[in-house]
Amino acid sequence: MQTLTRTAAIAEQALAWRAQGLRVGFVPTMGFLHRGHTSLMELARPRCDKLVVSIFVNPLQFGVNEDLDRYPRDPEGDAAKCRAAGVDVLFVPDDFYPPDHSTRVRVEGLSEGLCGTSRPVFFEGITTVVARLFGVVQPTVTVFGEKDYQQLAIIRRMVRDLALPIEVLGGPLIRDDDGLALSSRNAYLSPAQRARALSLHRALFAMAAAEERDAAALIALGRSILDVDTFDYLEIRDAVTLAPLETVDRPARALVGCWIGGTRLIDNVAIERPWT
């Protein structure tokens, strides 16, 4: 595995691969890697000839009071995990944006609501960094996790709208043994906070298991189970379009965002019913 820190170096490598007709797979991350990230690499690996993983804590997607400066890091552990997952190039840029970079990419509609309500700069930061990463890495196929379900929908829309010749795959949400959705930010949780964080998936799974089809009743059920410090949202959306649903009469997704102490947590589950 090669580690590249210069943006021009990975761009040159990617061009050479593409000129040889090779399929390039790409998994963008912010590092502090866990099984959720490596599961995406495992999905990509058989679908490409060369696999690139990026680690870049993107300043554009952090709000002023968010955790950019204390975002957890583990460069050596991350490199070992990437090597074990068969990654060809680990891209850890130290010169990613040109100093006078001024272009922003924004996907309207889908970027509003859910996580976009309390984090207004968030998705524009993500689509801007991912668009530039795509330009540099020129992937044939890219994999994003369903853990960030709204982000996955936004990336699919951006790729379609900009006619980028990239296949976008979604990887299933990976959980810890106790059910907590794996996240780099779980490292911030004290044992007591972590115990309360389990209420997120408990609430979502109770909603998924209930006979009820009325979204408001399902949300009330979920809220009665959530044990968090700051509630952000708990919603049921169409699984494909992310349109809000009043009645669960088609494949849907229950999504939650909230804070425990200073840690922001998100989770989601599929809501499946007999649709007749």
The minimum distance between CB 130 and ligand AMP, in angstroms, equals 10
**Smallest separation, CB 34 to ligand AMP (Å):** 7
* C-alpha 212, offset from chain centre: 29
Binding of ligand AMP by 130 (CB under 6 A)? no
- Selected from 174, 248, 254, 256, the binder of ligand AMP by CB under 6 A is 174
Quick one: which of 13, 24, 25, 29 contacts ligand AMP (CB under 6 A)?
29
Active-site residue, selected from the candidate residues 34, 37, 101, 201: 37
Count of chain residues binding ligand AMP (CB under 6 A): 17
Q: In what order do the strands lie in the sheet with 167-171?
A: 2-4, 89-91, 50-55, 24-29, 141-145, 167-171
Q: Cβ of residue 32: shortest distance to ligand AMP, in angstroms? A: 7
Residue 144 engages ligand AMP in binding (rule: CB under 6 A): yes
Distance CA(160)–CA(137), nearest Å, equals 18
Using rule CB under 6 A, residue 128 touches ligand AMP: no
SS (H, E, C) 191-249: HHHHHHHHHHHHHHHHHHHCCCCEHHHHHHHHHHHCCCCEEEEEEEEECCCCCECCECC
139 lines the binding site for ligand AMP (CB under 6 A): no
Q: Among residues 22, 60, 182, 195, which is the contact residue for ligand AMP, using CB under 6 A?
A: 182
Stretch that binds ligand AMP, among 171-179, 189-197, 199-207, 262-270 (CB under 6 A): 171-179
148 contributes a contact to ligand AMP by CB under 6 A: yes
- Does 147 contact ligand AMP by CB under 6 A? yes
Taking the complex as a whole, the smallest distance from the CB of residue 58 to ligand AMP amounts, in Å, to: 8
Tell me whether residue 37 is one of the annotated catalytic residues: yes
| Binding piece for ligand AMP, criterion CB under 6 A, among 78-86, 131-139, 143-151, 243-251 | 143-151
Q: Please report, as ranges, the residues that interact with ligand AMP according to CB under 6 A.
A: 29-30, 36-37, 39-40, 144-145, 147-148, 171, 173-174, 181-184
* Residues taking part in catalysis: 37
